[in-house]
Amino acid sequence: MGYRFRFKALQQYREFLLKREQIALARALQRLEAREMERAQARERLRTESIHFEKRQCEGMGVPDFLAYGDRIQALEQHLLRLEREVLELRAEVESAQRNVLERERDLRALTILEERERESYMHDMRKKEQGHIDEFAILGTGRRKDDSGSS
């Protein structure tokens, strides 16, 4: 009976680990999605600022405005590069979380297979015992018939 309890506890623990890894994967996917959206917005803002800068240059602008736009565009490019790095890091984190989920699923599946094999083995032993009892009754019944027919 202790074996069943330990087995059930181990199975519950592995289910807990799987759920924890699934939650970590969902969180990583959420962060990745948010960063990708932020990156898309930063790209759009950089594109808009660049177009606006070009228009202002064509119209003619003073040196201070030119330098201010240059600084703003450079800051947007730096921000975009930082977001690109973060997206790459988050993709690696998502891949790692996916591997962890697959590993936990494999562990749980192995435990389930082990439980099925244990159950099949138990059922096989029970059928063998039952067959032994049936054979014993058949032998006893055959022996009684022989005794009854021989004594008549």
Dist CA 132 CA 113 (whole Å): 28
pLDDT of residue 138: 80
List Cβ<8 Å contacts ≥24 apart for 39-47.
39/80, 39/83, 39/84, 39/87, 42/76, 42/79, 42/80, 42/83, 43/80, 45/76, 46/73, 46/76, 46/77, 46/80
Domain segments of the chain as ranges:
2-107
pLDDT, one tens digit per residue, over 106-152 is 999 988 888 888 888 888 999 999 998 888 888 877 766 666 665 54
Q: What is the pTM of this model?
A: 0.67
pLDDT, one tens digit per residue, over 70-104 is 899 899 999 999 999 999 999 999 999 999 999 99
